[in-house]
């Protein structure tokens, strides 16, 4: 039980199964305020399921999940305005333009139309989509949609950001720029972030800490990313190998 | 060789690749429609030579009657149109409301659904006869008849539409913790708009026929009543003329709804199925 007052997310002894299929068993995770944590694991390891439990869409079979001290499933509405999610699929609404999609969360939080428009504009520019504002979803490429989805989550300025493979589906140049932007914003404003990725490089680059999830079990690796790792080529390679080994040598 | 033949045959049914689909479809439909119409006129013309004019009047006579109707009885067309519009919009409103209730309130759903399903089983004729007993005012009779006949179409289609709402979208919007009204406004309403159009397009022809029927049994004004009158006066030319006008009204209304749909759903990519 490591639920310091500083923890934004605390999962304690959480188990989850779909029918006979066990996805998580006795899983404990804690993320402190202002921390950026990467969640890794092979496909089907249960990463999205963990995010779903944190955001309150799924209920844990046993154990406790707390977000900002609240049960995200049982006290669903109380977390209003506290977190935002960028899902693995973009989940944009086709009848709204790019900018209207970004406005959605703001409007739900009862922010005025004019204010929402201003904020949405700003975020679309940050994800390099200033000239795609008025495009409908079917007029956007896959990568553009992912960026709109990211902007929609970040625009509401939540304390906690949950990202599911938000950078993995973009080309390297866009992904790199966006990751750098995101890290900068997140650190500057002390955002807490749990992000799912299958790309070890991304995790090492962005995260303060990496967690590796093993299918049907708990964590099999939990490691702080030391500051020197990003500069020191050898240390970086060693960490990369440890993560890859924990993932079962299936990551690249 | 055989193969390419089949392929190009299939392609005939489709729009040329460089023209937007919907427009192309309208254009490619227009010529066959004109051809078939011309053939029908020809058949009536030839038939009118061989049978007496009180069985099949000549096309020229039909046109003359149609012209007379338009210049003298346009108010009947107008009346029917107004009745149809009012009842259609009312049925749309109530049907959509029922559909949303069924789609969002599981406790009420089975009861409302049972009510709607039973309604679909009641023949239109029963409603017409019952309406005559129940209401004195013809306007109210027609309004009632059309409403009870049309509401279930909207209610059931909207309900199906809500059931088809992707869970991913619901989870997405719920992640912002909206209230019930916001879910309706930002997700459910926009999502069911295509279903409203779909329903309207598919029932508009049926609605016109039912309106005419209802007028025939329940009113002294309107197209149905006038057709009844033409029948009592042995004016087959007028019956043909009204029929002609009804076909035109029907097609124009369908085109009108399709146009509205195109504007309202402009966010959608035109799909072309190969
Ligand atoms: N709603 C559900 N019903 C039944 N099984 C589910 C459900 N959601 C997930 N699963 C199963 O749980 C396991 C973990 O799924 P999850 O989506 O969490 O994996 P993931 O780690 O996010 O994988 P990926 O990297 O491919 O996105 C999978 O085996 C999946 O089949
Ligand atoms: Mg996933």
* Min Cα separation A20/chain B (Å): 23
Q: What interface predicted TM-score (ipTM) does this complex get?
A: 0.89
Whole-number Cα distances in Å, B117 to A68, A239, B108, B109, B143: 48, 64, 14, 12, 20
Between A85, A89, A95, which is nearest B175 by CB? A85
Q: Does pTM top 0.95 for this prediction? A: no
Ligand 1 pocket residue status of A48, Cβ below 6 Å: yes
CA–CA dist B213, B136 (Å, integer): 17
Q: Is A43 in the pocket of ligand 1 (CB under 6 A)?
A: yes
C-alpha–C-alpha distance, residues B237 and B20, integer Å: 41
| Pocket mutation for ligand 1, best pick of A41, A42, A49 (most atoms within 8 Å of C-beta) | A49
Q: How would you class A21 by CB atoms within 10 Å of its CB: exposed for 0-12, middle for 13-18, buried for 19 or more?
A: exposed
A214 lines ligand 1 (CB under 6 A): no
Q: Is A21 helix (H, G, I), strand (E, B) or coil?
A: strand
Euclidean distance between CA atoms A223 and A210, whole angstroms: 5
- Taking an 8 Å cut-off on Cβ atoms, the answer to whether B177 and A107 are in contact is no
Ligand 2 centroid – CA A164 distance (Å): 7
pLDDT in tens, chain B (274 residues): 344 443 333 333 333 444 445 555 666 778 888 899 899 999 999 999 998 888 899 899 999 999 999 999 899 999 999 999 999 999 999 999 999 999 999 999 999 999 999 999 999 999 999 999 999 999 999 999 999 999 999 999 999 999 999 999 999 999 999 999 999 999 999 999 999 999 999 999 999 999 999 999 888 999 999 999 999 999 999 999 999 999 999 989 999 999 999 999 988 877 666 6
- The ligand that comes nearest to the alpha carbon of residue A40 is 1
Tell whether ligand 1 has an atom less than 6 A from the beta carbon of residue A49.
yes
Domains and CATH numbers, chain A: 1-82+160-252 (3.40.50.300), 92-157 (no CATH)
Give chain B's domains with CATH numbers: 82-268 (1.10.3720.10)
Angstrom distance (rounded) from CA A211 to CA B24: 56
Contact call for residues A44 and A23 (beta carbons, < 8 A)? no
């Amino acid at each position: 039980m490591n639920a310091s007052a500083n923890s934004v997310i605390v999962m304690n002894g959480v188990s989850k199964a779909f029918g006979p299929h066990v996805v998580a068993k006795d899983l404990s995770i804690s993320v402190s305020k202002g921390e950026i944590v990467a969640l890794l694991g092979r496909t089907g390891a249960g990463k999205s399921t963990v995010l779903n439990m944190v955001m309150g869409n799924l209920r844990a079979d046993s154990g406790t999940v707390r977000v900002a001290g609240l049960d995200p499933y049982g006290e669903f509405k109380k977390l209003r305005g506290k977190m935002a999610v960028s899902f693995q699929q973009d989940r944009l609404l086709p009848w709204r333009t790019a900018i209207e999609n970004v406005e959605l969360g703001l409007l739900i939080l009862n922010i005025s139309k004019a204010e929402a428009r201003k904020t949405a504009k700003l975020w679309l520019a940050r994800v390099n989509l200033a000239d795609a504002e008025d495009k409908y979803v079917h007029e956007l490429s896959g990568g553009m949609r992912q960026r709109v989805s990211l902007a929609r989550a970040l625009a509401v300025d939540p304390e906690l950001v949950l990202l599911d493979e938000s950078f993995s589906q973009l080309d390297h140049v866009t992904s790199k720029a966006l990751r750098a932007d995101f890290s900068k914003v997140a650190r500057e404003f002390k955002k807490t972030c749990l992000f799912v990725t299958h790309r070890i490089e991304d995790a090492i680059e962005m995260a303060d800490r990496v967690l590796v999830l093993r299918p049907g079990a708990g964590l099999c690796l939990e490691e702080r990313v030391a500051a020197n790792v990003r500069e020191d080529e050898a240390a970086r390679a060693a960490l990369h190998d440890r993560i890859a080994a924990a993932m079962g040598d299936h990551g690249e | 060789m055989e193969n390419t033949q089949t392929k190009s045959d299939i392609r005939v049914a489709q729009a040329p690749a460089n023209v937007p689909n919907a427009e192309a479809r309208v254009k490619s439909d227009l010529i066959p429609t004109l051809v078939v119409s011309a053939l029908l006129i020809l058949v009536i013309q030839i038939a009118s030579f061989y049978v007496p004019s009180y069985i099949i009047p000549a096309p020229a006579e039909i046109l003359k009657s149609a012209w007379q109707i338009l210049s003298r009885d346009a108010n009947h067309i107008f009346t029917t149109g107004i009745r149809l519009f009012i009842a259609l919009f009312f049925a749309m409103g109530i049907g959509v409301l029922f559909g949303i209730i069924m789609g969002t309130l599981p406790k009420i759903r089975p009861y409302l659904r049972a009510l709607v399903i039973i309604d679909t089983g009641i023949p239109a004729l029963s409603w017409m006869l019952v309406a005559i007993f129940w209401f004195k005012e013809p306007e109210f009779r027609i309004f009632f008849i059309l409403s009870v006949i049309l509401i279930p179409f909207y209610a059931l289609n909207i309900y199906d539409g809500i059931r088809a709402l992707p869970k991913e979208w619901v989870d997405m919007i719920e992640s912002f913790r909206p209230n019930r009204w916001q879910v309706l406004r930002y997700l459910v309403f926009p999502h069911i708009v295509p279903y409203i159009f779909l329903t309207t397009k598919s029932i508009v022809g049926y609605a016109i026929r039912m309106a005419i029927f209802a007028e025939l049994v329940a009113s002294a004004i309107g197209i149905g009543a006038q057709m009844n009158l033409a029948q009592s006066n042995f004016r087959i030319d007028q019956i043909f003329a009204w029929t002609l006008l009804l076909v035109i009204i029907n097609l124009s209304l369908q085109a009108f709804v399709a146009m509205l749909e195109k504007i309202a759903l402009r966010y959608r990519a035109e799909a072309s199925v190969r």
